[in-house]
Amino acid sequence: MDSDILSSAMKAASSAVDRVLDKIIQNGSGAETQLVEAMRYAVLSPGKRLRPFLTICAAEVFDVARPVAVRTGAALECIHSYSLVHDDLPAMDDDDLRRGRPTLHKAYDEATAILAGDALLTLAFEIVSAPETSPKAEVRAELCRTLAKAAGYQGMVGGQMIDLSAAREPLAESAIHRMQQMKTGALICASVEAGAVLGEASTKARQSLNYYARDLGVAFQIADDLLDVEGTEEATGKAVRKDADHGKSTFVELLGVERARQQATMLADQAIEHLADFGDKATLLRAVAHFAVNRSH
Amino acid sequence: MDSDILSSAMKAASSAVDRVLDKIIQNGSGAETQLVEAMRYAVLSPGKRLRPFLTICAAEVFDVARPVAVRTGAALECIHSYSLVHDDLPAMDDDDLRRGRPTLHKAYDEATAILAGDALLTLAFEIVSAPETSPKAEVRAELCRTLAKAAGYQGMVGGQMIDLSAAREPLAESAIHRMQQMKTGALICASVEAGAVLGEASTKARQSLNYYARDLGVAFQIADDLLDVEGTEEATGKAVRKDADHGKSTFVELLGVERARQQATMLADQAIEHLADFGDKATLLRAVAHFAVNRSH
């Protein structure tokens, strides 16, 4: 697929997701206005909206109505942006720059950042459990469960805990794989799975998409590590070379730049192979896999 | 009702909830062990388990199977304890003592406390969306929605934001009411409503229970404020006299001790009046209302 076509599809999806988030998260008139502003600052900041895009692309495989997929994708973006806000806190990774702007606790304060993160996480579940997301309760409940499992202590939060402890004690290769699968991979898998849940996909189709998402997640993470080593602050919108500074265990540190790049490309190809049954309907999912390893931001 | 009967009912419910939480939150073997330990430290610490008890009592009105109510109550306790962990953080209320023990960030560290809070909040949604909670997807999805609305930026998190900003700028009476309804009242209402959701209660029954819960929530909060003024650190298990020290706006500050106490008793009586239709099935709910205003911890 032409990279321009992917690029415009991603832009369109991103705008649609932002419109939904803009509509849902409205400034209140009370003393909590600052919280609402902070939530908007975090979730509506410039970004790829990769996770919602994955939901939208996976839902397209099953001809799910687009507004439903966009709304569900918005919930995934809430979880992703909450995780960035909390990870950036002084007690965690202590980052000042995110998506080209001051991190939330720099723009506001720590208390506001903690609460805005909490509120975005909670909002994700409010969004997917609302009848507007799906008239079928089975779908809504399953979306809640999919998101909660991926985001919780056996997924994303657990991965962040391991990552923090790894700054003190370097991890072995298998432990890095497990940490990354939990920290980044689980929510990427959930983003794809959410599309399958909306589409009430067969077990076989879900399995194929899950294999795709797992490979994509690792490829994406390796590409992220490479950007940290080789990217510029201007292009990535965040501080670079910080993994090494923080003594973090990454794939690039483990494999070296060249092997890491080969591994990412190999995983993207492998991800695409799992989409064989979906024909043309999976064109965008295939393009995303190429994008994940060839991006500059 | 004899206060001994209430007391033993609360103890039995509390043990049942703790058994469920103990079973669900199991120590992992990986590097995330510390996270799991911290979650257990927070959620299994000594406490009244008032919110689960409310869920269990409300569910009893509709003859819901007890294990289902206990499991749902456990989810509410996860949300309550996450909120305590985050509220105690240095960037928030900066408390060292909670339930008679060091607060979580004192016992571990700030990063672990932030993540354990995040994980407990997420776990609540994993618990209520699981088929073990209810075979009916409609019930599971509605529980998710009830909890998310109560806990989010238009509920508990919003209330905490207002409370923090009130330390800088004292609130008017109506604003204190609104703040408390969001910060404490919303989750108390959700605890009662969860029982009604499990019982697939009629709109009328839900409305009555909602009125009960709103009055109970305010009565409970006033009693809490009174304990802060009059209680001892030994009995309450947390630092006292801190609201005034932090310049917080409370009902007691607003009304004075005597009028606040009268107001709490009046609200408890009013709460009980809303239970008239439920006869003997609401005996425990009535007893809780009395307990809320007469407790010493």
Q: What pLDDT digit, counting tens, does each position of B96-120 carry? A: 998 889 999 999 999 999 999 999 9
User: In this complex, is the C-beta atom of B141 within 8 Å of any C-beta atom belonging to chain A?
Assistant: yes
CB proximity under 8 Å: B 109-138 to A:
109-112, 114-115, 117-119, 121-123, 125-126, 128-130, 136-138
Chain B partners within 8 Å of A34 (Cβ)? 161, 165
Q: Do B166 and A31 touch (CB under 8 A)?
A: yes
Domains present along chain B, CATH in parentheses = 3-294 (1.10.600.10)
Q: Tell me how long chain A is.
A: 297
Q: Which of B93, B108, B161 to mutate to test the interface with A (most CBs of A within 10 A)?
A: B161
For residue A157, give the nearest of B35, B128, B145 by CB distance: B35
Confidence (pLDDT) at A244: 59
Confidence (pLDDT) at B116: 98
Q: Tell me how long chain B is.
A: 297
User: In this complex, is the C-beta atom of A37 within 8 Å of any C-beta atom belonging to chain B?
Assistant: no
Q: Do A117 and B118 touch (CB under 8 A)?
A: yes
Nearest to B92 by CA among B78, B105, B108, B79: B105
Confidence (pLDDT) at A235: 61
User: In this complex, is the C-beta atom of B237 within 8 Å of any C-beta atom belonging to chain A?
Assistant: no
Confidence (pLDDT) at A1: 64
User: In this complex, is the C-beta atom of A235 within 8 Å of any C-beta atom belonging to chain B?
Assistant: no
User: In this complex, is the C-beta atom of B3 within 8 Å of any C-beta atom belonging to chain A?
Assistant: no
How far is A232 from chain B, CA to nearest CA, in Å?
Answer: 28
For residue B161, give the nearest of A34, A121, A125 by CB distance: A34
For residue A86, give the nearest of B92, B114, B157 by CB distance: B114
Q: What pLDDT digit, counting tens, does each position of A133-173 carry? A: 999 999 999 999 999 999 999 999 999 999 998 877 778 88
Chain A partners within 8 Å of B109 (Cβ)? 91
Q: Which of B108, B114, B142, B147 to mutate to test the interface with A (most CBs of A within 10 A)?
A: B114
Confidence (pLDDT) at B176: 87
User: In this complex, is the C-beta atom of A205 within 8 Å of any C-beta atom belonging to chain B?
Assistant: no
Q: What pLDDT digit, counting tens, does each position of A78-134 carry? A: 999 999 999 999 999 999 998 889 999 999 999 999 999 999 999 999 999 999 999
Q: What pLDDT digit, counting tens, does each position of A248-280 carry? A: 678 888 888 999 999 999 999 999 999 999 999
Confidence (pLDDT) at A125: 98
Chain A partners within 8 Å of B130 (Cβ)? 145
List chain B pLDDT tens, one digit each, 297 residues.
667 889 999 999 999 999 999 999 997 667 789 999 999 999 999 989 999 999 999 999 999 999 999 999 999 999 999 999 999 999 999 999 988 899 999 999 999 999 999 999 999 999 999 999 999 999 999 999 999 999 999 999 999 999 998 877 778 888 888 999 999 999 999 999 999 999 999 999 999 999 999 999 999 999 988 988 886 666 666 666 666 566 667 888 888 899 999 999 999 999 999 999 999 999 999 999 999 898 776
pTM of the model: 0.95
User: In this complex, is the C-beta atom of B157 within 8 Å of any C-beta atom belonging to chain A?
Assistant: yes
Look up the ipTM and state it. Answer: 0.94
Q: Do B178 and A121 touch (CB under 8 A)?
A: no
Q: What pLDDT digit, counting tens, does each position of A202-249 carry? A: 999 999 999 999 999 999 999 988 988 886 666 666 666 666 566 667
Chain B partners within 8 Å of A162 (Cβ)? 30-32
User: In this complex, is the C-beta atom of A166 within 8 Å of any C-beta atom belonging to chain B?
Assistant: yes
Q: Three-state SS string across chain B, please? A: CCHHHHHHHHHHHHHHHHHHHHHHCCCCCCCCHHHHHHHHHHHCCCCCCHHHHHHHHHHHHCCCCHHHHHHHHHHHHHHHHHHHHHHCCCCCCCCCEECCEECHHHHCCHHHHHHHHHHHHHHHHHHHHCCCCCCCHHHHHHHHHHHHHHHCCCCHHHHHHHHHHHCCCCCCHHHHHHHHHHHHHHHHHHHHHHHHHHCCCCHHHHHHHHHHHHHHHHHHHHHHHHHHHHCCHHHHCCCCCHHHHCCCCCHHHHHCHHHHHHHHHHHHHHHHHCCHHHHHHHHHHHHHHHHHHHCCC
Chain B partners within 8 Å of A111 (Cβ)? 89, 91-92, 164
Q: Are A117 and A159 in contact (CB under 8 A)?
A: no
Q: What pLDDT digit, counting tens, does each position of A7-34 carry? A: 999 999 999 999 999 999 997 667 789 9
For residue B111, give the nearest of A119, A153, A164 by CB distance: A164
Q: What pLDDT digit, counting tens, does each position of B254-270 carry? A: 888 999 999 999 999 99
For residue A137, give the nearest of B31, B138, B158 by CB distance: B138
Confidence (pLDDT) at B137: 98
How far is B277 from chain A, CA to nearest CA, in Å?
Answer: 30
CB proximity under 8 Å: A 87-106 to B:
89, 91-92
Chain B partners within 8 Å of A37 (Cβ)? none
User: In this complex, is the C-beta atom of B55 within 8 Å of any C-beta atom belonging to chain A?
Assistant: no
User: In this complex, is the C-beta atom of A12 within 8 Å of any C-beta atom belonging to chain B?
Assistant: no
Percent of chain B's residues with pLDDT above 90: 76
